[in-house]
Structure 1
């Protein structure tokens, strides 16, 4: 596997698309072992996509695209302004609230960061925010997106690790609220030092608040309906993806009346591109993962970590540090697909709840999207705002510290993560 790993790293450094880097480097394993049937890579590629639970991935991607085209984004922006408009930090606070509200719509931190940057970025610069600070807020705020239902990371982790997707969805609510509070508090502190004022000084009228809540209520209810459907046994995780698509279309047609032929076509085209990229990645990961299992890499890594510490908190800390470091070079989706079979057996051996670990795993994998040298969300935001990476890195440090502190608390106190899943679905 050393040759396979080195080839994978070299291909990434060459700028090769991640899916091809995974597939080609994984195929090298079979060239090293000519005794293995040559048909196995083809079988693995096909078999990897035949998991019924994975049907939820394209359906939720399609639902997110339809909801974005339905006009719900503008309604959520208005609601976010109502919720945080009088807090110090102005549009920075609005962007964090927007990220939390958008979690149930987009499911992708990169898509959310890019969308918010296009909507709020230039206006933040006109209001006096520095480019590095604005980029840091817009990128780290999107960390909320993948841990609020229906985050794609939870679906991939639950499918690969055979963990309840419903419990994973439920586990994201309190940590997302904690991250929201931590980032909002960080903005409040830094905004005071920089002299950034609130978005509005006057108190909102009851009519304004009512209109904002009414406009955004359908998006807020979306994750609630998902959890109720799973808890009451009305839907399986795959079937609830189909419900999400129908819900998004009905909202666009009946509630906001913004969905028409042209926007529907754009939603379908965007879904086709997104689904193709994700499923192609999942398919080729089967080739790479075969060698990992055959060479007993999970056992070797487990022995190495347990040789360092056998304390469950210490093991989680080591895993998180490794994932964050790897996330500086590899996309979070790839990490979830590749590393879940390696680390999940280890934490189960230490009696760590797989839902608790899944939440920590997804947060750690997502953080890599905001860090140099190849953070996808970082590059998306910085390219739109024309912000130097050095300025971004320096001014986003307070937000990284805030996210790190919340992650440490979640590692040490699994009861926080498991509270909502246990209330909704009961204890194991």
Structure 2
């Protein structure tokens, strides 16, 4: 066990891509400490990917790409602008509302962050907003795609922990909306203190709101189709992902008409490339997780935690701290596949509701995407803004703390995440 962890940390510090870190450290541990044949590596990779539910990933990825290319992102931003564009600091608030709207469609935090950044950053610069703070707000708002359903992160957590994807989807709605409101509050306070460039002269009009809402209506039909289909038992999460991709094609090509048939081969290749990178991480991480399980790490960690405290709240605090640190160095999927199988049995022993515990993990993973040095949403927002990551990270404090407050609130008030699944009859 020492060898695999040592190799893992060494390769990670050397800057080796996470997918190779997981695979190489597992192979080195097999060769040096066991007599297990190397053929087990390919078998475990296949076993880790041999899941019908995981087929939802490429479909959701493709749906997110279609969303951007088909003009869906633009309509949602226009609606958000009509809704909150008359308030002080409107561009920051529009970014938050639009990110939440896109989160209900794409399921990918980095995709949402890229889409919102590319639309909003030119306007932030033109209006002389603080671009670094704007990028920090967009990064935090974009990360909500991991919390607001449909979420790729939730799909993976549900598969690993053998949970109902529909129940986990519903559990993220209230915390996701609370996170959006908290980030918007910090943006509004910043704007009130920021000077004349943050003041708005364009008044609110019901005509504009209704017009943009009507234009965005086909876009908002996608989350209704996904959640309604899953909760109504019409189709499985994987089938829902395929339907959402098809729906995005129909909307982009025949309703908005921004998507042309000639673009499809390139978009399909891009979706395949992104999906392959995710699947490769899942495959190599499954080998790593199998070695950890064989080394009896879950039992050892469980004994240590139980000796440390018998209070489930203390356990949840430890989990939050652990994931906040892990999120700084590990990609979300790898972190889930390595840590969740270890922690979930312990959470069950403490009597913690599995859906609540899963949602706490998902929230931590969302926060991990904006924490340097590895935060992918932070990198995307900084890159599109053309600003150094460290400069944007300096402005991250208030929106980051807002997300931490909602994380603690969700941790200590389980009903925030469990009320909707209970109302739907998916949990007791």
TM-score normalised to structure 2 length: 0.96
Match of 2:351? 351
Deviates more, 1:227-236 or 1:92-101: 227-236
Which structure 2 residue ranges, 5 or more long, are not aligned? none
Call closer, same or farther: CA 1:197–1:172 in 2, change over 3 Å: farther
Match of 1:399 in 2: 399
Q: CA RMSD in A?
A: 1.6
Say how many residue pairs are matched.
428
Q: Deviations over 1:280-310 (max 9, x none)?
A: 1111112111111101111222222222222
1:84, 1:93 within 8 Å by CA — same for their partners in 2?
A: yes
Aligned to 2:124: 124
Q: Aligned ranges for residues 286-305 of structure 1 at < 5 Å?
A: 286-305=286-305
C-alpha displacement of 1:176: 1.0
2:369 aligned counterpart, secondary structure: helix
1:158 Cα shift?
A: 0.4
Cα distance in 2 for residues equivalent to 1:197 and 1:415: 41
After superposing the two structures, state which structure 1 stretch, 396-405 or 242-251, moved more: 242-251
How far residue 198 of structure 1 moved from its aligned partner, in angstroms, is: 5.2
- Contact 1:68/1:105 (<8 A) preserved: no
How many angstroms apart in 1 are the aligned matches of 2:348 and 2:5? Answer: 26
Question: What CA distance in whole angstroms lies between the structure 1 residues aligned with 2:411 and 2:171?
Answer: 13
Q: Secondary structure at the match of 1:103?
A: helix
Partner of 2:280: 280
Structure 1 residue 418 corresponds to structure 2 residue 418: yes
User: 2-side partners of 1:391 and 1:294: how far apart?
Assistant: 43
2:370 corresponds to: 370
Residue 102 (structure 2) aligns with: 102
Alignment of 1:164-203 (within 5 A): 164-195=164-195, 200-203=200-203
- Distance in 2 between residues matched to 1:51 and 1:415, nearest whole Å: 31
Q: CA deviation at 1:165?
A: 0.4
What is the CA distance between 1:197 and its match in structure 2? 5.3
TM-score by length of 1: 0.96
Cα deviation 1:401-422 (Å, max 9, x = unaligned): 1111111110111011011111
Shift of 1:31: 0.9
- Gaps spanning 5+ residues in structure 1: where? none
Structure 1, 120-129 or 66-75: larger mean CA deviation: 120-129
Find the aligned partners of 2:229 and 2:105 in 1 and give their Cα distance: 17
Distance 1:125 1:310 in 2: 52
CA contact (8 A) 1:85 1:198 kept: no
Aligned equivalents of 1:408, 1:256: Cα separation in 2: 41
Structure-2 residue corresponding to 1:31: 31
